[in-house]
Amino acid sequence: MKETPADPALLARRERQGGSDQRSERPVGGSTKAGPPIGRSRLRKLGVALLFLLPGLVVFFTFVLGPMAYSLRISFFDWNIIHPETSEWVGFANYTRALNDPKFGRAVANTLAYTAITVPAQIVLGTGIAILLNKAIRGRVLYRVLYYLPVVTPWVIVALLFKFLFIGQGGLVNHVLRNVLGVIDQDVLWLADPILIFAPIITLGIWKGLGWTAVIVLAGLQTIPVELEEVAKVDGATAWNRFRYITVPLLRPTLVFLLVVLVVGGLNAYVSNLLITDGGQPFGETHFVLTLMYQETFDRLDFGYGASISYLLTALVFVISVVQLRLLRRKVDL
């Protein structure tokens, strides 16, 4: 047992030499020393590393990669949840069914519209807040806390809260619109209309994401050297031109990051819709892709169809992300 502590130490030292110094030294050390042959030392390294990797890899294979493969398989079956062995192979039928299902088409359209509205709104408003926060030295911490509060509040709570605010009779939003601002003359029944019901869902999406967007943009703004703006100011550049030609280009990597992450988040929106629409109400026309997937899978127990929907959404997310990065990367590098 006495040798065991020495062995890892030796390994660690060798690791350090290989890692911190130039890579070219590693083969030299390996060949000149009369130590164990390279094959065995590599195995030993793998052994030590496995002690560190094993718990994580077991979890990852059991609950991420395994399930992904399983789900792919299920999506090609008319899956029987009670007797899986009797499930019938149906090929791409679940996929073609989804692509021809008007409910799925509607859910995709709803999800895309939600994303197309909430993402630019969050970026524009978040950037505005970040610019103001960057100017305001006093009170920055307090403002940051206030703007960030919605971000850390659980989705279930804020979804129910926005549903409450948009209640037709006695809701705060109608009261403000009608009696304070006077822009409507009778209560709007937001929650009973398949289009208007997206008002609470969309405002919630923007309101909840604003603080995070602002903090990310603020971090980006703080990397821009103050001198650049000052030089431009001396040269007589207007505030808008400074924003347009200094801030925006230098902020571009941050904005691209935000765009990609927020779009993925928007396409995966779920809890707000589920709770505000009570699962696609009214008329089953208000689904997002994931709420539809949930309903088909766990209410109708059509696991094969649900799995194919989840793969279609993943493909959509993947394609949109890749397209965004392709289109915007060149401009980021400048």
CA angle 248, 241, 140 (to 5 degrees): 60
Candidates 28, 124, 145, 323: give the one binding other proteins (CB under 8 A): 145
Q: How far is CA 125 from CA 116, 132, 187, in A?
A: 15, 11, 28
Closer of 223 and 241 to other proteins (Cβ): 223
By C-beta, is 70 or 92 nearer to other proteins? Answer: 70
By C-alpha distance, which of 81, 145, 134 is closest to 306? 81
In whole angstroms, how close is the CB of 9 to other proteins at the nearest point?
5
What element of type H or E holds 179?
A: none
Judged by CB under 8 A, the residue of 99, 116, 124, 146 near other proteins is 146
**Locus of tokens 């869902």:** 201
- Binding of residue 313 to other proteins (CB under 8 A): yes
C-beta of 109 vs 156, nearer to other proteins? 156
How near is the Cβ of 116 to other proteins at its closest, in Å? 18
Told to check if 94 binds other proteins by CB under 8 A, we report no
Binding-site residue total for other proteins (CB under 8 A)? 103
What is the dihedral sign for C-alpha 29, 35, 40, 43? negative
Site string for other proteins, 7-26 (x = CB under 8 A): xxx-xxx-xx-xxx------
Residue 155, number of CB atoms within 10 A of its CB: 15
Instruction: Give the integer Cα–Cα distance in Å for 249 and 261.
Output: 19
Between 42 and 331, CB nearer to other proteins: 42
Q: How far apart are CA 297 and CA 301, in angstroms?
A: 5
What lies within 8 Å, CB to CB, of 212 at 6+ separation is 126, 148, 151
Task: Find the binding residues for other proteins in span 221-260 (CB under 8 A).
Answer: 257
Closer residue to other proteins in complex, CB, 21/88: 21
Return d(Cα 37, Cα 53) in angstroms, integer.
Answer: 24
- Which of 76, 162, 190, 198 contacts other proteins by CB under 8 A? 162
- Cα–Cα distance for residue pair 288/273, rounded to 1 Å: 7
Distance of closest approach, residue 201 Cβ to other proteins, in angstroms = 14
Give the interface segment with other proteins, choosing from 96-104, 109-117, 191-199, 310-318 (CB under 8 A).
Answer: 310-318
Report if residue 59 touches other proteins, rule: CB under 8 A. yes
Say how far apart CA 279 and CA 294 lie, in whole Å: 9
Binding of residue 179 to other proteins (CB under 8 A): yes
In the bound complex, what is the minimum distance in angstroms from residue 17's beta carbon to other proteins? Answer: 10
Binding-site member from 164, 228, 282, 300 for other proteins (CB under 8 A): 164
Check binding of 60 to other proteins (CB under 8 A). yes
Which range, of 100-108, 167-175, 188-196, 322-330, touches other proteins by CB under 8 A? 167-175
The minimum distance between CB 147 and other proteins, in angstroms, equals 6
The Cα-based distances of 27 to 1, 20, 41, 190 in angstroms read 30, 14, 12, 70
267 binds other proteins (CB under 8 A): yes
Stretch that binds other proteins, among 91-99, 100-108, 190-198, 298-306 (CB under 8 A): 298-306
CA distance 101 to 177: 38
User: What is the C-alpha to C-alpha distance for residues 332 and 334, in angstroms, rounded to an integer?
Assistant: 5
- 33, 40, 46, 249: which one binds other proteins (CB under 8 A): 46
